Copies of this chain bind each other. A is one copy, B any other.
Amino acid sequence: MHRNVFFISDGTGITAESFGQSLLAQFTGPEFRHVTLPYVDTVKKAAQALETIQQSQSADGTQPILFMTVLNEEVSSMMHASGAYVIDLFQAFLPGLEQEFGQHPLYRPGQKRSTHSNSSYHRRIEAVQFALDNDDGCRTRNYDKADIILLGVSRSGKTPTCIYLGLQFGIFAANYPITEEDFELTTRLPAPLKPYRRKLFGLTIHPGRLSGIRHERKPNSRYASSQQCQHEVFSVEQMYRQEKIPSINSTDYSVEEIATRIMAMTELERRLK
C-alpha cells in the first residue's frame, strides 16, 4: 500500500518538503510517493494543483497527504477543500504568534530572505566561492582567511562539506587533502598545517565505504583497493589522535549532518545571525 504525498507552497516548497519528510520518516507503514509543487501563488495555479491532487486520489483510491506552506488565503482555502489530509504549517502557528506579538502577520510569501540581511546572503555566496577557491585541486590556499580547515584522505567528503558549510552557515571552509606522501616517514602533521593547528578538523570514513566510492571514480585502481584505503584511513586516524585534532566519521552521515555536527563540536559561530 502506498500514499501520495504533496508538498505545496507559494514559495520554494523547501520548508514543506524538509519538514514533511521528517514527519513521514517516523512512520514505516505505507510507502510514500512525493510530489512537490512550488510557487502555487495564484488561483489558476492552485486549480492546476487541485487537479493533480484529485487525479492521484481517483487513480488509486487513497486519500493524499498534503503538507502546505501557503500564505495566499485563496490558495489556502482551495487546498483545504481538496479532500486531502491537510497539514497546514502556517495556519497551525500563525494565530498563536499573532496573539503573542500583538500584530497581524504580513501574509506575504517568499519573505524568508528578509530575516537574512542582504549582507549575510552575500556572505554565503562569498563563502561558497571561498570553498571552491580553496579546494583540493587548487593551489591558492587562503588559510589565514579560513574559519576552519578540513583534513581527510581523498574522497572522504571534504569538498561537499566545505561547500555546505559556506552555503548554509556562511563559514569559510578550506580543505587539505592528506595523501600517501604525507605518511611516508611519519604520521605527524604536514608542515603547511602547523601554523593553523587551531583551525583543523579531521574527516574520516570506513575503509570499505571509501574503497567503494573510489572504485566508482577509478575502477580497479590501486587507489581504490581495500588495502590502500585501509592503510590511508588507519594512518590519518593515527594522525588525528597524535595531534589531538577533533574529527568525525562521515560514513553514516549526510553532508548536512556532517556540517552541523562540525558546527556543534567546534562551536564555530554561524555567520548569518
Contact = CB atoms under 8 A, between A and B. Distances in A.
Interface of A: 11-15, 18-19, 21-30, 32-36, 38-39, 65, 69, 71, 85, 87, 89-90, 92-94, 96-97, 100-103, 105-108, 110-116, 121, 124-125, 128-129, 132, 135, 157, 159-160, 163-164, 167-168, 254-257, 260-261, 263-264, 270, 273
Given A163-B128, A167-B160, A254 B23 contact: no
Given A29-B101, A121-B254, A163-B163, A115 B15 contact: no
Kindly report how many copies of this chain are found in the complex they form together. Answer: 2
A77 to B, nearest CB: 18
A27 B112 contact: no
A90 B254 CA distance: 22
A23 B163 contact: no
B115 A255 contact: no
A13 B113 CA distance: 18
Contacts of A69: 22
Contact of A115 (B24, B87, B129): B24
A260 B109 CA distance: 15
13 contacts: A12-B257, A13-B260, A14-B168, A15-B18, A22-B69, A23-B94, A25-B111, A25-B112, A26-B90, A34-B273, A38-B264, A110-B257, A128-B159
